[in-house]
A and B are shown apart, each in its own frame.
Chain A
Amino acid sequence: MNRNTPLLEVSNLRVAFDGKEVVRGIDFTIQPGEKLALVGESGSGKTVTALSLLRLVMHARITGTAGFLGRDLLALPESDLRGIRGSDIAMIFQEPMTALNPLFTVGEQIAEVLELKQGHSSVDAARMAIDLLAETGITEAQRRARAFPHQLSGGQRQRAMIAMALACKPRLLLADEPTTALDVTLRAQILDLLTALQRRNGMAVLLITHDLNLVRRFADRVAVMENGCIVEQGAVTQVFADPRHPYTRRLIDSRPERDVPPSFPDAVGHEPLMRAQALRVTYPVPLGGVRGWFAKGEFVAVRGADFVIPPGQTLGVIGESGSGKSTLALAALGLLPFSGALQVASGSWNQGAKANKALRQSVQVVFQDPFSSLSPRMTIEEIVGEGLRVHAPGLSTAQRQARVLTALEEVGLARAQFPGLLVRYPHEFSGGQRQRIAIARALIVEPKLLVLDEPTSALDVTIQKQILQLLQALQRERGLSYLLITHDVDVIRAMAHEVIVMKDGDVIESGSVEQVLGAPHHEYTRVLVAAAG
């Protein structure tokens, strides 16, 4: 094939749901063997673009053309398109757990593609499925092929998905956020695998992502999407070096910046706000067999953590999912039973309900998901004012309302901007605004320590930066301490003074942020820092 004929040529693609356009006339091309990244924040229409190429979006009106090997994908009859799906154009999804059928082994699912698309016999297909799995770097491919999706780890599942997508040697692979659901250390591996396979098979890849690190590492060219339009496209090196469009600039500029009060050593005169010694948290798990009738097993989520949080400083806790970092946060909040010593301000949990209630005023929390952390049936005034009802029951309605407004203003939600702010319900606010409301709810009782459990992971990058700036400003003004739980090295780098690294319930490394991120001792920390780029 001529190098200059594009493999895929999309022009004036428009997708509309119920008359509302989400993709508004975009054009792009992919050359054979090229890696194009489609970047944008949530709601920019990037996933819909990919799905509409294979006409996999339901109840949508799709117009425009998508020429693929001389045929228009958008005009082909359904039966012809079915021949292209899976064999010429394959797709991998964000969440392999839901993209794989839980009732069949991964081997069967890969073999099915080979039988249907290439007419192999079932014996051949099963053998080829094992080869494909081995090619994706899964160890013991023979055994893994007989495993059900839930028996594999997240990374293995994503490898199986890739094996399935590549079964018919497609010319174009649509990869929709292929690494977002994976831990940071796995992301790099999957990306390297995709690069290797892409090079070997000479296929083109359309990578859909919100992660600029990924783009920089993987793609040849990049197209930036905002509100259903491509605002800028070009070679990766050129776009990153010299972004033209203000939105691209904002995206590239969205890496959080460090702007926190200087750290000071744990010296005299600074009584720590929280001090944990040999903090241990366990969950009961059912035991199998007859033994399980009489006793419960024990799963250790946090195995002996020691840390100190001085006033006005931030302790960052970093680790991948399942490392016990969120459990640590809940224990610090006194919401989980734990053993070991945990001193909070001047007291500790487990001193009876009354003492606990007083302590709660000094330790507050902000959660990850701004959608589940606000009760959908309460107004903003009720949500934010709730803490005052508990801790300052003497306030009159007017006084409480005034405090609520002050707290909201402090997090950047002024009544002038949002008429009727107090009587609105959470569904009327965007993710970033909801997170601000959650911060206001925590701040209104004037805590000394704020536990931040992945406060920005559910937000788009540009919003993430704003929320971090807000948190930094609050720390400077109020002298707040933070216990910051995150999987994101960039966030730690911007926010933390001290860091502890957790893996499988153990604290494997701790120290100042410069020391841990600058010269990591432990192998795992090194991988983590390297993966973040």
Chain B
Amino acid sequence: MSSLTSPSDAVAAGPLSAVTVSLSPSRRAWQRFRRNRLGFGSFVIFCTLFVLSLGAELISNDKPLVARYDSAWYFPILKSAPETTFGGDFETPTDFLDPFIRQQFAQAGNWALYPPNPYHHSTIDYFAKAPNPAPPSADNWLGTDDRGRDVAARLIYGFRISVLFALALTAIGTVLGVITGALQGFFGGKTDLAFQRFIEIWGSMPELYLLIIFAAVFDPSIGLLLILLSLFGWMGLSDYVRAEFLRNRQLDYVRAARALGLSNWQIIRRHVLPNSMTPVVTFLPFRMSGAILALTSLDFLGLGVPPGTPSLGELLAQGKNNIDAWWISLSTFSVLVITLLLLTFMGDALRDALDPRKAQK
């Protein structure tokens, strides 16, 4: 036995040196992704923008972050104070853009720390110097829209809603797509046939007209939109997952797992699913950009979010209605293009990183 316990192929081939750090395939894919400068740069920028937009209230708000008035501390951003607190006449919430209030804070000992952009997405500046829509100025960096709201503020909040909506839609669509694709691919046969027929029927429903009808029947809301788009969004992915499962379930390691006595669920979870995630991960950024675009288009058509919600599509529609106010359409268009470009670059890099032919190297 001693000669057998030291096989010469194990020794001679010896590709394993003592110092190499063992990396899982997904770790190696991540490293390839990091080496792609355009893709990884886009990823960093996108994440930064998204995290910043999550704190939009601190960046763009009409209430000061901290205020000191008559030797007392106030945090208007957390708790709104009536105007009487700051020497006003009414019990209404303070309008900090009011020149009178500004004057009060200019007195000795009083001060207020405003966010960088002192407008909320719903703020209407009743004290604006120019008629609406106003071109970019020192007060409104990207001008105002036709109701006098700050475009920069609406873009920041609109970006946040778009990305959050896209994340939710992508997550729901991915989970549904993976589950249905996995069931079809793993069990095959009649299960597969039934699902495929169902998908064919479901997929031939006129999605857009259903949306228009539902928009007329129900009150428009983000939640309703999410449900409607999710109902149709999972089909594209389920085909890919199904194909991966069909391929992987007949590989030898799955047979070996069966021979070991693992249950179907254990085989799916431990063996087939982890090896079938490549198309899912590759498509994530593209699905995100698709979702952002879908929300924007529906808003543009007026079928999307309820009125008053900051949305890129609604801004684009305003831009169309106010052709002279170029700053509305140009800035919205730029935000949209940059967002989609970042996602596309990330998607390309991910696809390269997960390419099995490159993984060999």
Contacts and interface: CB of A to CB of B under 8 A. Distances in A.
Interface of A: 330, 333, 335, 356-357, 360-361, 363-365, 367-369, 372-379, 386-387, 390-391, 409-410, 412-414, 417-420, 423-425, 427-430, 432-433, 436, 438, 441-442, 445, 451, 462-463, 466, 469-470, 473, 477
B320 interface: no
A372 B251 contact: yes
B125 to A, nearest CB: 56
Interface string B113-132: 00000000000000000000
B217 to A, nearest CB: 41
B261 A361 contact: yes
A363 B8 CA distance: 29
Residue among B7, B13, B274 with the most chain A CB within 10 A? Answer: B7
Contacts of B15: 428-430
Q: Which 9 A-B pairs have the closest CB atoms?
A: A360-B261, A373-B252, A367-B252, A432-B9, A377-B274, A430-B13, A375-B253, A412-B7, A424-B22
Contact of B22 (A356, A361, A428): A428
A528 B44 CA distance: 63
A35 to B, nearest CB: 31
Contact of A445 (B22, B260, B271): B260
B11 interface: yes
B252 A462 contact: no
B257 A386 contact: yes
Contact of B262 (A369, A386, A425, A428): A386
B260 A364 contact: yes
Contacts of A374: 253
Interface string B246-276: 0000011101111111100010001100110
B263 to A, nearest CB: 8
Nearest to A428: B16
A375 B7 contact: no
B252 A372 contact: yes
B24 interface: yes
B208 to A, nearest CB: 36
B323 interface: no
Contacts of B261: 356-357, 360-361, 387, 390-391
A414 B255 contact: no
A377 B356 CA distance: 13
Contacts of B16: 418-419, 424, 428-429
Contacts of A409: 5
Interface string B1-40: 1001111111101011010101111100000000000000
B275 A417 contact: no
A236 B355 CA distance: 44
A357 B8 CA distance: 37
A476 to B, nearest CB: 9
Contacts of A433: 9-10, 13
B22 A420 contact: yes
Contacts of A462: 8-9
B260 A387 contact: yes
B256 A425 contact: no
14 contacts: A335-B259, A364-B260, A367-B252, A373-B255, A386-B260, A386-B270, A412-B5, A412-B6, A425-B23, A429-B15, A436-B7, A466-B9, A469-B4, A470-B4
Contacts of A445: 260
A360 B259 contact: yes
Contacts of B256: 365, 367, 373, 438, 441-442
B9 A365 contact: no
Given A361-B261, A424-B22, A433-B9, 6 more contacts: A375-B270, A375-B271, A375-B274, A425-B22, A425-B25, A438-B256
A432 B253 CA distance: 16
Nearest to B6: A412
A491 B20 CA distance: 36
A473 B1 contact: yes
Nearest to B21: A420
A121 B255 CA distance: 54
A510 B256 CA distance: 28
A477 B275 contact: no
A441 B261 CA distance: 13
B10 A377 contact: no
A427 B26 CA distance: 13
Contacts of A414: 5-6
Contact of B275 (A335, A369, A375, A451): A375
A364 B259 contact: yes
Contacts of A417: 6, 10-11
A368 B253 CA distance: 11
Contacts of B266: 390
Contacts of A420: 22
A312 B41 CA distance: 62
A335 B249 CA distance: 13
A489 B92 CA distance: 96
A181 to B, nearest CB: 20
Nearest to B266: A390
Nearest to A366: B256
B113 to A, nearest CB: 51
A477 B4 CA distance: 12
Residue among B8, B251, B260 with the most chain A CB within 10 A? Answer: B260
Contact of A477 (B1, B7, B9, B22): B1
B272 to A, nearest CB: 9
Contacts of A390: 260-262, 266
A442 B258 CA distance: 12
A333 B259 contact: yes
B310 to A, nearest CB: 42
A429 to B, nearest CB: 8
B9 to A, nearest CB: 4
Contacts of B275: 375-377
B262 to A, nearest CB: 6
Nearest to A462: B9
Contacts of B251: 372-373
Contacts of A335: 255, 258-259
A368 B256 CA distance: 11
B182 to A, nearest CB: 16
A428 B14 CA distance: 10
Contacts of B260: 360, 364, 386-387, 390-391, 441, 445
Contacts of B8: 462, 466
Contacts of B20: 428
Contacts of A372: 251-253
Nearest to A473: B4
A193 B275 CA distance: 45
A448 B1 CA distance: 20
Contacts of A369: 252
A436 B8 CA distance: 13
Residue among A363, A387, A469 with the most chain B CB within 10 A? Answer: A387
Interface in B221-257: 251-253, 255-257
Contact of A377 (B5, B18, B24, B258): B24
A363 B165 CA distance: 52
A425 B359 CA distance: 14
A516 B18 CA distance: 49
A373 B26 CA distance: 19
A376 B253 CA distance: 9
Contacts of A463: 9
Contacts of B255: 330, 333, 335, 365, 367, 373
A364 B26 CA distance: 30
B25 A427 contact: yes
Nearest to B19: A419
A379 B266 CA distance: 16
Interface in B278-317: none
A469 B258 CA distance: 27
A413 B9 CA distance: 11
A329 to B, nearest CB: 10
A374 B259 CA distance: 13
Residue among B15, B16, B266 with the most chain A CB within 10 A? Answer: B16
